[in-house]
Amino acid sequence: MASFNKVTLMGNVTRDIELRYTPKGTAVADIGLAMSRVRNGENGERIEETTFVDITLWGRTAEIAHQYSGKGKPLFVEGRLQLDTWDDKETGKKRSKLKVVGENIQLLGSPGGGGGGGNQGNPNQGGGNRYQGDGQSPQQSAPQGGSPAQGGNFDDGDDIPF
């Protein structure tokens, strides 16, 4: 049976990014991300729902997130779901937690930290800095161009119909 495990999230970092290193020297960063959604209730009232997700980044991507992002800053993350399981030492019961392993990130907002502007509406239209990794390797690729004019994700395969 085929499977597909891909997550795309855009939200604000909820806490200072924790950076640590494995015994072999690979960087690991833990991030909290908050995503808000507004909907109308039964009586037409505006209801805001916020979802909090824990994200783990590896390698150079972790170091870049720690250096250039932080609490309150917008961040775009692509990754995969992972279920962590462990035995609770106090109760002896099995515990589990679903988290995201971030494979690519895009820093959103202005480079000076002003937060405004950038590509908060569509992560494929430039305005941010994109960093890509493989999820667990210390060798990460360099920043990629963010706008179609720089050869980003622009597909010119369709002809104009007129």
Query: Block means of pLDDT (10 residues each) for the chain, length 162 residues?
Result: 92 93 95 93 90 95 91 94 92 92 87 42 46 46 40 50 52
Q: Are 81 and 53 in contact (CB under 8 A)?
A: no
Report how far residue 125's alpha carbon sits from residue 130's, in angstroms, rounded to the nearest whole number.
11
- Residue 131: predicted pLDDT: 55
Report how far residue 122's alpha carbon sits from residue 44's, in angstroms, rounded to the nearest whole number.
28
Distance set, CA 61 to CA 34, 36, 81, 148 (Å): 19, 24, 17, 23
Six token digits for residue 65? 């997130």
Six token digits for residue 6? 């891909």
pTM of the model: 0.64
- Residue 41: predicted pLDDT: 86
What pLDDT digit, counting tens, does each position of 94-110 carry? Answer: 999 999 999 999 988 75
- Residue 158: predicted pLDDT: 55
- Residue 152: predicted pLDDT: 43
- Residue 114: predicted pLDDT: 45
- Residue 82: predicted pLDDT: 94
Six token digits for residue 100? 């995201």
